[in-house]
Amino acid sequence: MKKRLQKLWDETVPQGGAAPCPDVNAVLRRVDAALDGTPRKSQRRRIVRRAVLLVAALLLLTVFSIAANGGEPPLRNVIDAFFWNSSDRELASSMVDANPVTVSDDQYTMTVTSSAADKNKVYLTLNVVPKNEAAKTRLQDECQKGEAPSILSFRTYFLGDSSGSEFSGINPETGIFESEISRQLLPWPFSRSISIRCSLMEEGLWLKLPVHPISSVRLRINATAPSGPSTQSESGGPVTIQRLVLSPMSVFVQYTASADEMGEPVLYFLWKDGTVNTLSELGGRMYSGSATISGTEFTAKYTYTFDGIQDLTRMEAVIYGGMAYPLDGGEPYAYDTSGLPFPFRLSGIEDESGEFFVPLSQLCQELGISENWDAESGTASITYRGRTCRCTAEDEQARLWNGELWVSSNTWVYANLRFGTRPVWERDSAEGSSKLVGMVFIP
């Protein structure tokens, strides 16, 4: 609705243009940017303090590791585990809390060796060290019970399940249980801490880890845009973003879509030097969180974790639906997204081992790149995003069918070309089972 002052302005001021009435959303954007975008002084001090502690902790850990394990490398921290693709290692390290938090009983010591959190998720590395041979044997027995060791449980406020990058298991060389865990958080300030328990330790013994989220930026987008193909339909349908919270570690998106089509928002990230990245390029290929269907509406609250710490001081805006939403709270402006990568869907076939394959030629066609086929050596190579991938018909991730090379969309493409993929299932009404028939690629 037009503001009253704008109406008065339009009717009375011969020059026309924008009336001086403030746009409430613009005021909110400025307030959000000021509160969320710039770390407050105390946070800056904390970051510096953490950096100093990190260096000290790393030194201690190195000395400890060398003494205890005869030259073993230091423990992996959350940067190695979750944000391994960080280009600015110093920046990434400044966001890690490397203060070990420990609980101990007669048999075991459980330690969170490093943690990091934004307002969307907490990431941590943890180990459980047995104190004697009997405890070591019991730990090994417990962990061999199933594929996913379940000696850990969590209490207090978190939502959703772990991300795909989790790892848990016993290090065969040391006998120590190691785990890399991420958990979705309830909105701050409900997640001031999380509590973790090891089922092998004394009853009632919980490790309480304080959560200190780094700054994030909340963007008020409230816009609808096409989603591209989804696992449910070729078009995907329109998607409306209600809320977007961006941090150096992840982006949280709350959006609605049609329950029949279940499209996913197509986001781009514009840097101050003019380059544009897709969500998949930044590593945000998988999501975690919750989704609900109410009537014909699908509502999702998903967090996409980047695979490297992003320097938001270098980022200009998030682009959605042809509009750029500046991180500094400035006025959104039109941005031409034609020519930028967009999701597409390919049909494929599943082989006897359960691997799913799509034709390389079609993949290249969708990407607008060419494949080089060397008939003599039977090798195909493609170059995309600065990476060259080569495969032969003898590859485990490639197959020849009807004279054409097909590549596995589950592993090969995902790992090398930085795509997000979503499986397309088709229900066989006669057999009542579902089979994989296609794959949505999110470049």
Partner 1 sequence: MNEYKIAEKLRRGNRSALEAAVRQLTPYVSTVIFRTLSGRACREDVEELTADVFLTLWNRAGEVDPRKGLRPWLSVVARNKAIDWQRTHHPCEPLPEDAADPSEGPEQRAVRRDWSARLWEAVDGLPEPDRSLFFRYYYEEEPLGEIAKALGLSQSAAKQKLFRGRKRLKTILSGGGETV
Distance between first and last Cα of the chain: 37
Contact with partner 1 (CB under 8 A) among 2, 31, 167, 425? 31
Binding mask 33-62 for partner 1 (x = CB under 8 A): -xx---------------------------
> Does 377 help bind partner 1 (rule: CB under 8 A)?
no
CA distance 217 to 95: 16
Tell whether residue 19 is a contact of partner 1 (CB under 8 A): yes
Q: Find the shortest distance in angstroms from Cβ 185 to partner 1.
A: 15
Residue 60 backbone dihedrals phi, psi, to 5 degrees: -60, -45
Contacts of residue 232, defined as CB under 8 A and 6 or more positions apart, other chains included, come to: 260, 261, 262
> How far from the centroid of its chain's Cα atoms is residue 151's Cα?
25
Amino acid at 275: T
Of 2, 8, 394, 396, which lies in the binding site for partner 1, with binding defined by CB under 8 A? 8
Q: How far is the CB of 247 from partner 1 (least distance, A)?
A: 16
- Count the Cβ atoms, other than its own, within 10 Å of residue 100: 15
Q: Is 294 in the site for partner 1 (CB under 8 A)?
A: no
Name residues contacting partner 1, limited to 63-82 (CB under 8 A). none
Tell me the two tokens of residue 291: 């989704």
Using alpha carbons, select from 385, 139, 132 the residue that is nearest to residue 277. Answer: 385
Residue choice 14, 172, 204, 368 for contact with partner 1 (CB under 8 A): 14
Residue 186 touches partner 1, criterion: CB under 8 A: no
Instruction: State the minimum distance, in angstroms, from the CB of residue 33 to partner 1.
Output: 9
* Binding to partner 1 in span 324-363, by CB under 8 A: 329
* CA neighbor of 438 nearest in space, from 348, 328, 303, 322: 348
Q: How far is CA 164 from the centre of its chain?
A: 9
Nearer to partner 1, 10 or 396 (CB): 10
Q: Which stretch binds partner 1 (CB under 8 A): 9-17, 96-104, 165-173, 257-265?
A: 9-17
User: Which CB sits closer to partner 1, 169 or 189?
Assistant: 189
Q: Does 147 bind partner 1 (CB under 8 A)?
A: no
**Contact between 291 and 253 (Cβ < 8 Å):** no
**What residues have CB less than 8 Å from 33, skipping those under 6 apart?**
217, 327, 328, 329
Q: Which two tokens stand for residue 419?
A: 């795509």
CB nearer to partner 1: pick between 34 and 59 = 34
Please identify which residue in 2, 17, 169, 221 interacts with partner 1, judged by CB under 8 A.
17
Question: Under the rule (CB under 8 A), what is the footprint of partner 1?
Answer: 3-5, 7-9, 11-24, 26-28, 30-31, 34-35, 189, 329
